[in-house]
Amino acid sequence: MKLRKWFTLLLMFVLCIPAMGLSVQAQSTPEISIYLDGQQVKSDVAPYILPNVNVTMVPLRVISESLGAEVYWDQNKQTATILKADTVLSMTVNQAYALVNDGSVPLDASAQNKQGRVMVPLRFVSEQLGLKVSWEQSTRTITLRTDTIDIDAPANEEIDIPITDQEPEPEPVPVPVPTTPVDTGGSMRGVWISTVFNLDWPSTGSYNNQTKQQQEYVQLLDELQGMGMNTVFVQVRPSADALYPSSLVPWSKVLTGTQGKNPGYDPLAFMIEETHRRGMEFHAWFNPFRANTDAKTDQLAANHVVKQHPDWIVNSSSKLYINPGIPQARQQIIKEIMEVVSRYDIDGVHLDDYFYPSSGTFNDDATYKTYNSKKIANKADWRRDNINQFVQQLNASIKSAKPGVQFGISPFGVWRNIAVDPTGSDTKAGVTAYDNMYADVRTWIKQGWLDYVTPQIYWSMSFAPAQYDKLVTWWSDEVRGTNVKLYIGHSPYKLGTAEAGWQNAQEIINQLDYNALHPEVQGSIFFSAKDLRKNPLGLIQALSSYYSR
């Protein structure tokens, strides 16, 4: 009996030890509580503190559900993107820095993926979203406030988590953002991929279908690479909207049929990854000043520029444009482009010729009077100065953020006719870049405000008013002695039409052969993908043969 009693007491003692230990541990380290403006923030996974750096980590779900931010998670890249108001915050698991709008900021603790749950540093995210953060050590409570000044808050609450005597955080130090090197084989062989009106990608039949859109893009790349192409110029801003999650502009309607509707994934991130996987370059193509392809506004998202800043908008020939004469409008477009430069591993920023419209009336008399601080006497010169400032400032912004990202523009193929300017080309074009679109391309080249220029020389070798070979020679002379590369824009869409010279696919090959006579010409870009894929007059076979020489 004594032995049995002793054994029973021993067993009870052994069984109680773990329970006692857990109880003591639970009492010594209570869970962290989080309050936002007095309301407790619930979390299905308990927040925890990284001991070496004293940073509190919370599930990404807390950010989206409690802080009112929009959250995207890229499983392949292990990257979380958080959007709220004018802030775009991107963090990659185990990466020592975050991307915040136009710059990179070092982190004390990177995002973590714990058993399928994404954990992010609470203080860093909260403060980037404009919240005020305080820590109460005795109760292990984090208080978040949306106001910037709380007159009732004791001074000792404005301390870091969870240290009470920590030094102020140092100013953020820029961290180089890695880019993917791409081999273009020595010359540019590019294709424009139009998304406006769903011209090249994605198809209207793929609305709201992520899998179908991705399959279509993969097939498109496979076909283009099979033709010998090594670069794509994808239209990511067709009508002051976006093919990527943005806090500045709405989702493009080309993805879902409805502007502002989330397609459920990040198309731009997917396209860049698929393009780089093949060793091809990806240039993000922006329509700078086009606001909408027509004058209708009822289908535009609430955060579209037409509704946000109607005073910036000019209706010209029943199309809506952002007025380049308004400095704030120009800066906003630069900010929107830089959002892409900062967040994505693009190889280049590409602008087409959407500056001022080439025809019709553009009513900017009031703007000319209001924003003519330089006292420029001629409105045409003032318009050109507006575009010059935009190009110069955008180039400076890109080079400051990511010097390796190329910046290029594809202007109309004729700068000026020789009849108007003796230094112009021997052409008789009815429209010119300088006089109608107010694009002073010569100044951009001479000032080095861009890395490459791609004139749209969309005429044949036998089209007398604007002859292809004369224009290539003229543009070659313009870039000679500068650091600006010259690529030529070609028009396969004209093959098979009645215009002079387009009755045989050999016209394109003859153009490429003529380019080769000019060392300044370092490649070609074709408009557009759908026209190449149609294989007009056997062009695919001709190009494949040419590029395999």
Question: Residues 383, 325: contact at Cβ < 8 Å?
Answer: yes
Positive or negative torsion for Cα 340, 341, 346, 350? positive
Side chain identity, residue 480: R
Give 348-384 as a 3 state SS string. Answer: EEEECCCCCCCCCCCCCHHHHHHCCCCCCCCHHHHHH
DSSP structure class, residue 401: H
- Whole-number Å distance between alpha carbons of 282 and 262: 23
Positive or negative torsion for Cα 142, 148, 152, 153? positive
Give the pLDDT confidence score for residue 30 in this predicted structure.
73
Question: Which H or E run contains 489?
Answer: strand 485-490
Mean pLDDT, the chain, as a whole number?
A: 86
Q: Specify the residue for token string 């557009």.
A: 528
Give the pLDDT confidence score for residue 45 in this predicted structure.
82
pLDDT along the chain (549 residues), means of 10: 46 41 44 79 84 85 76 81 75 85 75 86 86 76 62 28 32 35 69 97 97 98 96 97 97 98 97 98 97 96 98 96 98 98 98 94 97 97 98 98 98 98 97 97 98 98 97 98 98 96 97 98 98 97 92
Centroid of chain to Cα 140: 40
Give the pLDDT confidence score for residue 147 in this predicted structure.
52
pTM above 0.75, yes or no: no
- Whole-number Å distance between alpha carbons of 460 and 36: 66
Give the pLDDT confidence score for residue 12 in this predicted structure.
46
Positive or negative torsion for Cα 439, 443, 444, 449? negative
Residue 264, Cβ neighbours under 10 Å: how many?
Answer: 12
CA dist 177 to 104, 282, 404, 451, 531, Å? 8, 17, 10, 20, 36
- Whole-number Å distance between alpha carbons of 168 and 145: 20
Q: Specify the residue for token string 């502009």.
A: 249
* 409-443 pLDDT per residue, tens: 999 999 999 999 999 999 999 999 999 999 999 99
Question: Which H or E run contains 133?
Answer: strand 132-136
Positive or negative torsion for Cα 48, 53, 54, 56? negative
- Whole-number Å distance between alpha carbons of 545 and 505: 12
**Could you tell me the domains of the chain?**
33-146 (3.30.457.10), 188-548 (3.20.20.80)
Question: Residues 400, 457: contact at Cβ < 8 Å?
Answer: no
Helices (H), 60-208: 60-66, 122-128
Give the pLDDT confidence score for residue 144 in this predicted structure.
81
- Whole-number Å distance between alpha carbons of 10 and 158: 52
DSSP structure class, residue 464: G
Give the pLDDT confidence score for residue 433 in this predicted structure.
97
Across the chain, which distance is largest between two alpha carbons, in Å? 122
